Amino acid sequence: MGYHFKKKLKIGDSVVGEGAPCFVVAEIGLNHNGDLGLAKRLIDAAVGCGADAVKFQKRSVDKILTKEALDAPYDTWYAYGKTYGEHRNALELSNEDFIELQDYSNSRKIIFFASPWDEESADFLETINLPVYKIASADLINLPLIEHVAKKRKPMIVSTGMSTLDEVKDAVDVISKYTDELILLHCVSTYPSDSEEINLRNMETLRKTFNCSVGYSGHERGIAVSEAAVALGACVVERHFTLDRTMKGPDHAASLEPPGLFKLVRDIKSIEKSIGTSEKRIQEREKSIRTKLAKSVVAAVDIPKGTVISRAMLTVKGPNTGLPPKYIYILPGKKAVNDIKVDSVITEEMIE
């Protein structure tokens, strides 16, 4: 089927999409460790780094895992409980916390949104009027959840990690029934991702296949790959964000700390300026340098008035104040209209 998604979306006060400034999302996710105070400090840090938005995750743990999975022992070094269910519940914020964090984000003038991991969470997030919904890679194949969210007819950002193109198509087919506001994020769901796994050219595959704006959700070390994604047309860049990568928790190690996010935002702005226009022209500040460094046709010998010029009478030297070097092929056979002294830059008015 043919897809017809808007190329620019309004998210809060930001215009996001092709031709708009890259929308940088600080993915706080679970890096608040279930601590409202830490969540606020992360919002403050994201603001200080120049991010456009902060993103959280909202889940009803008992709705997304079987009892067996909830009761499974969990003994990793970063576990917040003896079972996986206890661990997950310890990392969740309450509905009241989300309302407070949204108010806090508004006061700090940064966009607040979240990825719902179940229908109940999506319905709660709708009550606080989020400007956009995120679907995590883990739910790319969860078509019932995707349909439930798409029916809310808000802009959607969908990550495509650990999925096939056919599975992305299934999700997009569902979304397209209810909204024309979609941005797909290329993503590799390894933590951290190795360079050879990332395949940024997948962004162009998503763009061409689904006729929508695309972005990048990265889990790699450093910031270079995310910057390259912007050069390749990513209109959204999402990176996990923490105050300290050594903190206890599942996502800290694959996150950027404030200095990294600050540099990423800074570099993205520089890259966007550098991409500029496709028109090839001499820049204003190049003109004086061109005059100094580029070359002109110059007389290699004295050329008396009326002389028919030959190639042997000409050479090429700086500065670039006369006829450009291509005229060394054009001037032979022409006459000098006045005496031209050796080593003189030849100008148009000197030639018949």
Residue 147 half-sphere exposure toward CB, CA atoms < 13 A:
7
Whether 67 has a pLDDT exceeding 90, the answer reads: yes
**pLDDT, tens digit, for every residue of 246-288?**
999 889 999 999 999 999 999 999 999 999 989 999 999 999 9
pLDDT class of 322 with cuts at 50, 70, 90: very high
| SS3 sequence of 220-289 | ECCCHHHHHHHHCCCCEEEEEECCCCCCCCCCHHHCECHHHHHHHHHHHHHHHHHHCCCCCCCCHHHHHH
SS3 38: helix
Average pLDDT in the 196-201 region? 97
What pLDDT sits at residue 166?
98
Whether the CB-CB separation of 42 and 255 falls below 8 Å is answered with no
Question: What is the phi-psi region of residue 33: left when phi exceeds 0, alpha when psi lies from -120 to 50, beta otherwise?
Answer: left
Residues in CB range of 244: below 8 A, 6 or more apart: 252, 257
Please state whether beta strands 182-187 and 156-159 pair in parallel, antiparallel, or not at all (unpaired). parallel
pLDDT class of 2 with cuts at 50, 70, 90: confident
Distance of alpha carbon 341 from alpha carbon 184, whole angstroms: 67
- In this structure, which topology does domain 284-350 adopt according to CATH? Type Iii Antifreeze Protein Isoform Hplc 12 (3.90.1210)
Whether 319 has a pLDDT exceeding 70, the answer reads: yes
What pLDDT sits at residue 294?
98
Q: Nearest-CA neighbor of 318 among 302, 294, 347?
A: 294
What residue spans in the chain does CATH classification 3.20.20.70 cover? 10-275
Terminus-to-terminus CA distance in the chain, angstroms? 66
Distance of alpha carbon 234 from alpha carbon 203, whole angstroms: 8
**pLDDT, tens digit, for every residue of 142-170?**
999 999 999 999 999 999 999 999 999 99
Whether 1 has a pLDDT exceeding 70, the answer reads: no
Give CA 201 to chain center in angstroms.
Answer: 13
CATH number of 10-275: 3.20.20.70
What residue spans in the chain does CATH classification 3.90.1210.10 cover? 284-350
Give CA 235 to chain center in angstroms.
Answer: 5
Residues in CB range of 230: below 8 A, 6 or more apart: 22, 216, 237, 268, 271, 272
What pLDDT sits at residue 271?
97
CA distances from 304 to 314, 316, 325, 350, 351 (A): 13, 19, 21, 11, 12
Please state whether beta strands 14-17 and 8-11 pair in parallel, antiparallel, or not at all (unpaired). antiparallel
What pLDDT sits at residue 48?
98
What pLDDT sits at residue 69?
95
Percentage of residues in the chain with pLDDT exceeding 70? 100
**pLDDT, tens digit, for every residue of 109-135?**
999 999 999 999 999 999 999 999 999
